[in-house]
Chain A
Amino acid sequence: MSRLYLARNPRVAARSLDGEMMIMSGRDSTLFTLNKTATILWQSADGTTPLDQIVGQRICSEFEVEAAEALQDAETLARELASHEILQISEEPIPPSKATGASR
Chain B
Amino acid sequence: MPELAAEIERLSLVIEIGGMPVRVNTTDPGFLGILQGRYSGFVGASESAEVDFDVELNPPNFSDPDAPVRVTHHLGRWSLQRGDFLAQWDPKARTGRIRQSANPYSIDAVLRIVHTLVLARQGGFLLHSASAIRNGKAFLFAGVSGAGKTTISRLAPPDATLLTDEISYVRKSRVRQGESGYTAFGTPFTGELAKLGENVSAPIAALYLLAQGPENRIDPVAPAEAARSLLANVLFFAEDEELVQSTFHSAFEFVSRVPVSRLTFVPDSRVWELIG
Contact surface of A with B, Cβ cutoff 8 Å: 11-13, 15, 17-20, 22, 24-29, 31, 33, 102, 104
Contact = CB atoms under 8 A, between A and B. Distances in A.
A31 to B, nearest CB: 6
Contacts of B239: 27-28
B224 interface: yes
B163 to A, nearest CB: 25
Contact of A13 (B223, B232, B236, B245): B245
Interface in B218-237: 222-224, 227-228, 231-232, 236
Nearest to B243: A26
B232 A31 contact: yes
Contacts of A19: 224
A31 B228 contact: yes
Contacts of A29: 236, 244
A17 B223 contact: yes
B224 A13 contact: no
A24 B248 contact: yes
A13 B248 contact: yes
B249 interface: yes
Contact of B248 (A11, A15, A28): A15
Majority-rule SS of A interface residues: strand
A6 B241 CA distance: 21
Contacts of B272: none
Given A24-B244, A26-B244, A15 B231 contact: no
Given A13-B249, A15-B252, A26 B241 contact: yes
B258 to A, nearest CB: 14
Given A29-B236, A31-B232, A17 B245 contact: no
6 contacts: A17-B224, A18-B224, A26-B242, A27-B239, A29-B244, A31-B228
A25 B232 CA distance: 14
Contacts of B224: 17-20, 22, 33
B249 A15 contact: yes
A1 to B, nearest CB: 35
B244 A13 contact: yes
Contacts of B231: 24, 31
A91 B239 CA distance: 31
A25 B252 contact: no
Given A25-B244, A27-B239, A31-B228, 8 more contacts: A13-B244, A18-B222, A22-B224, A22-B227, A24-B244, A27-B241, A31-B231, A102-B245
